[in-house]
Copies of this chain bind each other. A is one copy, B any other.
Amino acid sequence: MRFSLLPREDKFFEDFNTQADLIAQSARVLREICEDWSDHEAKVKHISELEHLSDEIVHTVVVRLNKTFVTPVDREDIHAITSDLDDILDYIHGCAIRMNLFKIDKPTPQAIELSRVLEKSTEVVVQGVKALPTFSDIGPLTKQIQTLEKEGDAIYRKALADLFDTGDPIFIIKWKEIYDNFETAIDSCEDVYDVLEGVVLKHA
């Protein structure tokens, strides 16, 4: 990409990559929070900072989009990619701040499992975004993300059943909301792939 004649356009791809890296970073920290609850406040704060950086990139992308006449992919798609990527980080952040806010004792085994699937999903997002400028076939990555989504869904369903089995309403209120955020975060990794697949299709 270094010698491109269209420097401004390439910046969109660069920003997507930065956003995807922030997502993978925050998912890794979230997994670390779940595996080791010590120092969780500092770790949650770290995710908040990463989320803030992502917000700034979205802002940059939207401003640049308004000033760019020829875009490397359709305007709607640029908008969809940046905002879908931002959504993922919002949900990751949502998991982290809720665990903090609800003053939970420690993450449940199901939360640990979900955090691992989420981390893997964000790594596939990084790869999909990296492949975008070549518009190459991302079919195998799409299959990976779908497999992870199914895996996450199975863990989520089991987690919810276990949760209701505790019979502890306040515990249920707190963890149901956290699990919902995990499940939506994993789903939103698949949503980005819908847009990426659409873009590849148009340029095929």
| CB–CB A170/B172 < 8 A | yes
Interface size band for A: 20 to 34
CA–CA, A103 and B74, complex, Å: 44
Copies of this chain in the oligomer: 3
- Whether the pair A167, B170 counts as a contact (CB closer than 8 A) is yes
Considering the complex, give the chain B residue whose CB is closest to the CB of A176: B173
Indicate with 1 or 0, residue by residue over A64-80, a CB within 8 angstroms of chain B CB atoms.
00100000001010000
A 49-83 to B, binary, CB cutoff 8 A, 1 in contact else 0: 00000000001001100100000001010000000
- Nearest-neighbor residue (CB-CB) of A76 within chain B: B66
Question: Which A residues fall within an 8 A CB radius of B?
Answer: 59, 62-63, 66, 74, 76, 101-103, 157, 160-161, 164, 167, 169-170, 172-174, 176, 194, 198, 201-202
Q: Say whether A164 contacts B202, CB under 8 Å.
A: no
Q: Chain B's nearest CB lies how many Å from the CB of A65?
A: 9
